[in-house]
Amino acid sequence: MKKKPFIPEIWQYVFDSCSLINIEQREGVRTLERRKGAILITERVKYEVAEDPRIRQTDPLRQFVLRNPELVTRFKDNEEEEYLRILSQQGINSGEASGMAIALKRNLPLVIDERDTKATGKAKNHGIRTLSWKDFIEGKISRNNISYAKTESRNR
């Protein structure tokens, strides 16, 4: 497949591993490819979906993430601190905590498995706007409400 150039979208979303897997499984990796400019993942999520040695080399999501290093964002300023603070709570893992920290500090929406009440509940408690992978695909979130995302795309 010919690689499309990476152009960050104005509206960006932080993803957890589960949402990426769900989109890849149900909609195919092409959907991710089409919307890649809107996707931000943390290094920890990258590990969970692409670098974990238990993941097959031929896994399409793994290949997508490795093909598009621009998706991965590193912690900045006080995001590390926020990550550790969220991680110190029970019931969530490091991938989800890292996504929450970045979504919170950069004021970005977090795409998270909606069945996942623990992580979703925690994210909401922190004031993070959350949406499910289906909402992301259907573009349910109102763009008027997330104008702050524009700043993020410049900061990447």
Partner 1 sequence: MMNSSESKESRIIGVQLCKARELLQMTPREVAHEINVTPQEVVAWEKEESRPNLTQLEEMAELYGREIDYFLRQTPTPPENIEFRGKTGQSLKDLSKEARIVLVRLDELCRTALEFESLLNRRPPVKLPHFKETDPPKTVAQDMRREFGLKDEPIPDLKNRLEDEGVRIFELPVPEDAFSGFSFWHAEYGPCILLNATEKPKGRRNFTLAHELAHLVYTHGSSLCYIPIKLGESHPGLEYIANQVAIELLLPELGVVGDFRKRNLSRTPSEKDLAPIAYKKWGVSIQAFGYRLENVGLIEKGHINSLFETEPPFRRLKKGPRPPRFERELGKRLVETSFEAYQKGLISIGKLAHGLDITIRDALKEIEKRSK
CB of 127 to partner 1, least distance (A): 5
Residues that bind partner 1 (CB under 8 A): 16-18, 21-22, 25, 48-49, 52, 54-55, 59, 61, 75, 80-85, 87-88, 90-96, 104, 113, 115-119, 121, 125-127
Encoding tokens for residue 71? 């998706």
Of 8 and 41, nearer to partner 1 (C-beta) is 41
45 in Cβ contact with 97 (< 8 Å): no
Whether 48 and 16 have beta carbons less than 8 Å apart is answered as no
Distance of alpha carbon 18 from alpha carbon 75, whole angstroms: 20
The one-letter code for the residue type at 121 is: G
Rounded to a whole number of angstroms, the minimum distance from the CB of residue 71 to partner 1 is 17
Would you say 25 or 147 has its CB closer to partner 1? 25
